[in-house]
Amino acid sequence: MLHIKNELLNYVAANVPGAKFENFAKRLFEIEYGHHFTPLGGVHDGGADGVLLSGVQECVEEPNTFAQLSATKEETAQTKVDQTVAALLKSGRTPIQVIYATSERIPKQDRIVAHIFKKYKVLAAVRDLEWIESLINKNNAANEAFHRTFSAEVSHLVRAAAPLQGKVNEFVSDPTVFAYLSHQLSDRFAQDKIHKPLVDALIYWSLRETDPDLTPPQLMRRAELVVKLASVFPNAKSILLPHLDERLVELARKRPGEIERLRYYRKEDAFCLPFEMREQLATEALVEVQAQEAFRASVLSRFADLAPNASSTEAALCRELVFDAVHLYFVEQGLVLAAFLEKKLECLDVTDQVLEDELRKALSGRSGIKPGDITPAGFGAGLRALRGIFYEPTEEERRYLDYLSRTSMLFNTLQASPKVIEFFNNMAGQYRLLVGTDLIVKALAESYLPEQQRQVTNLLKIAVELGSTLILGEPVLNEVLTHLHAVDLEYRNHYAAREPYLSSASVAHCNRILIRTYFHARRTPGGPKSWGHLVNSILDPEALRAKSTKAFQDLRSFLMLRFRMKWESEEDLRSGVDTRSVDALAQRLIEARPEKHAELSYNDALMTHAVYAGRSSRGEAALHDGFGYKTWWLTKEVTVLRMTGSMVMDHGGVPYIMRPEFLLNFVVLAPKASAVRDQFRDLLPTTVGLQLGTHLSTAAMDSLLAGAEEWASYPPERITTMMADKANLLMHDKFKQYICNL
């Protein structure tokens, strides 16, 4: 990260057009708050109100929260905010809070806040140049946004706008990702150890309102349960749903001497909880309920001491805002907070700015709040209460924070931390992947599956959407073409004449995945009408049978368009490669694999060397960004690895093959970070959310905390390198066990 000096920032702020600053400020808001804003200007057909609102943005996720992005001078800032609130009210809006961002420095912000509240009962917040300076010097995304936006105004920033060598990315300044990577590598079976109790707990929670004793019985169908789990828990698709049916069968099984845990209604394919089970679950939840109520009472007591003149209504409302803010902070920084509370981190960067942002998010999320319900004095007392909870918690507060810590760490192990998801998304956006023949053939065979079942297709699609470059190499294209030619011959020689008489069992023994695909899909809606129709959906059948140049061109065009791939000829791949080393490796592969055609061994040898040549030509070893190498061969081929051990060691011990399961589990099946925030935020304060933390093993908890402690013992420059090493290992680790496999 390139530090932006005060003088340079002042120069840019004074010389950029107002509209350009407003766009930059909007980007900063999206980075800092994770919100999306929509413009309000023009809502009154060009009248005065429309003009006044032209620079105002409405927060999509938070009703009644508005941002005014302006380059207004200090002396007119109060007037600008005043006019904005008045225009909002006149246009029929009901603002609760207005955030004012400006390219000036506003030293007397409290006067603006007091004036706006006194006149309109609206809370105002000022984000001035000092806030911008702090954000762009601590947040990598904001720093790069600054370079990208203003490089034209400051000529010597043009070079800085390119990817910076030696920068420390934002994921290094926080132990969350470092500890997560360490845990994944040290405990390769972590998910398998907890999925059963996790699924059980969420099944019970989802069925909490069912009742077999009502007339008619209150049941939940299996399909409804699937939707419920998918909506309530991050990563449900990859963590919960694969195990749902087996857990439902197990829980519905009656055991002598034990209470009935789950009742199943076969005709309706529905489930419910018997009274005894609901009673037992309620008893178990009582401890968490009492801990939560004690926490609320302690927060209210804090607030009463800090704001003795506040009304009982405002005190109760501020208590709930602080309660919400604590949970929001754990969603974003759960591992950091847990490590601090466990004294694994000596300090916690809980600035007033951070706490104010969390409290404002909580305020925006509270429905039914009216202007004036929260005073600036009450808001300030809430901030001080929030700070005290983290730095000097009472016994009741500490007990409740322990619950939140364990659940947050559990979510971290399951890749349900927003920061972890963002890390892998950023990583995937930089890949240059030489896609293997095996994956392309499998993707072609998925063409007639429902979209959600197309594992490889979705893997490639999402990788491209995140910014990866998929390479279609000429050797791979030739292999795919040869494979299709052989499959077509096999179908015509062995299956075509017998097609009307073939049973499903006989087809199942066929070792050609495309032939199996054809027989399974031909009778489904939208399936191929004939074998020729299937082939023609990829390339011209006559050209394929002749293996003509047209077949080569047809297939290349199809694959590049279908999977949005970039073409590289054999000559391109050989660039920077020692051809003698390729030939030597190819010869060893031929001798070790006599059953394979010599051309395949040569192609494998070329792909191996092309990866290392690509890394070298792009200077990837010198890009110290914590994400690891960018260029990989994406394939399930592993036999070649046994022949290249010394070669791998000569290149720093990092192999050239990325396991597709890595992308599948860490990128494709990962939910969006925004969805995780919403689901985690809703689940965390519930009794089941608190109870989930009890399923976190002591070993997993110790592993994460040890990772945080280790992170704190090294400088950020060393952490960057260590993170890259861990990321590289995770990408190729052949021993890593995944729940979802190709």
The top-scoring range by mean pLDDT among 11-15, 373-377, 654-658 is: 654-658
Highest averaged pLDDT of the listed ranges 34-38, 284-288, 403-407, 522-526 = 403-407
**Band of residue 153 on the pLDDT scale cut at 50, 70, 90:** low
What is the pLDDT averaged over residues 677-689? 85
Instruction: Note the pLDDT tens digit of each residue in 420-439.
Output: 988 998 888 889 999 999 99
Tell me how far CA of residue 284 lies from CA of 15, 143, 687, in angstroms.
Answer: 63, 48, 9
Given CA atoms 646, 647, 650, 652 in this order, what sign does their dihedral have?
Answer: negative
Tell whether the model's pLDDT for residue 166 goes beyond 60: no
For 347, the token pair is 């300090």
For residue 537, the model assigns a pLDDT of 95
- Tens of pLDDT, residue by residue over 572-581, are 999 999 999 9
Supply the pLDDT for residue 35: 67
pLDDT-derived band at 45, boundaries 50, 70, 90 = very low
The residue whose two tokens read 């107002």 is: 18
Instruction: Compute the average pLDDT of residues 36-46.
Output: 57
- pLDDT bin (cut points 50, 70, 90) of residue 34 is low
- Count CB atoms within 10 A of the CB of residue 254: 10
Reported as a pLDDT band with limits 50, 70 and 90, residue 89 is confident
Burial tier of 406 (Cβ tally within 10 Å: 0-12, 13-18, 19+) = buried
Identify the residue with better confidence: 529 or 70.
Answer: 529
Q: What local confidence, expressed as pLDDT, does residue 54 receive?
A: 65
Q: What is the pLDDT averaged over residues 365-382?
A: 85
pLDDT band at 51, cuts 50/70/90?
low
In degrees and rounded to multiples of 5, residue 638 shows phi and psi of: -125, -20
First CA to last CA distance, the chain: 38
- Kindly indicate the confidence band of residue 160, based on its pLDDT and cuts at 50, 70 and 90: very low
Q: Phi, psi at residue 63, to the nearest 5°? A: -60, 145
pLDDT digits (tens, 9 = 90+) for 198-219: 889 889 988 988 999 888 899 9
Residue 695 pLDDT > 80, yes or no? yes
Q: How do strand 565-568 and strand 270-272 relate by DSSP bridges?
A: unpaired
> Which CATH topology does 6-157 take?
Trna Endonuclease; Chain: A, domain 1 (3.40.1350)
pLDDT band at 558 (very low <50, low <70, confident <90, very high): very high
pLDDT, residue 164, reads: 40
Of the listed ranges 335-349, 395-409, 529-543, the one predicted with least confidence: 335-349
Q: In the structure, what pLDDT confidence band is assigned to residue 350 with cuts at 50, 70 and 90?
A: low
Query: What confidence tens digit (pLDDT) does each residue in 269-292 have?
Result: 999 999 999 898 888 889 999 999
CA distance 660 to 435: 10
Q: Can you give the residue ranges of every domain in the chain?
A: 6-157, 176-414+679-706, 424-668
- Residue 165: pLDDT band (50, 70, 90) is very low
pLDDT confidence tier of residue 156, bands split at 50, 70 and 90: very low
More confident residue, 418 or 164: 418
The per-residue pLDDT for 192 is 53
At 188 the pLDDT is 65
Q: What does the buried/exposed string (b/e) look like for 522-539 if buried means 16 or more CB atoms within 10 Å of the residue's CB? A: beeeebbeebeebbbebb
What pLDDT, on the 0 to 100 scale, is given for residue 399?
A: 95
When computed from its CA atoms, the radius of gyration of the chain, rounded to whole angstroms, is 30
Report the half-sphere exposure of 201 (CA within 13 A, side-chain side): 22
What is the C-alpha to C-alpha distance for residues 289 and 266, in angstroms, rounded to an integer?
Answer: 35
Confidence label for 72 from pLDDT (cuts 50, 70 and 90): low
- Which pLDDT does position 43 carry in this prediction? 43
pLDDT confidence of residue 150: 79
With bands split at pLDDT 50, 70 and 90, how would you rate the model's confidence at 8? Answer: confident
Which segments of 499-610 are extended strands (E)? 565-568
Beta strand pairing status for 432-435 and 469-473? parallel
Q: What is the pLDDT of residues 452-485, one digit of tens each?
A: 889 999 999 999 998 899 999 999 999 999 999 9
Helix H or strand E segment including 193 = helix 190-206
pLDDT of residue 314: 92
Round the average pLDDT of the chain to a whole number and report it: 86
Per-residue tokens: 705 = 């905390």
Mean pLDDT over residues 686-696, rounded?
85
pLDDT digits (tens, 9 = 90+) for 306-318: 999 999 999 999 9
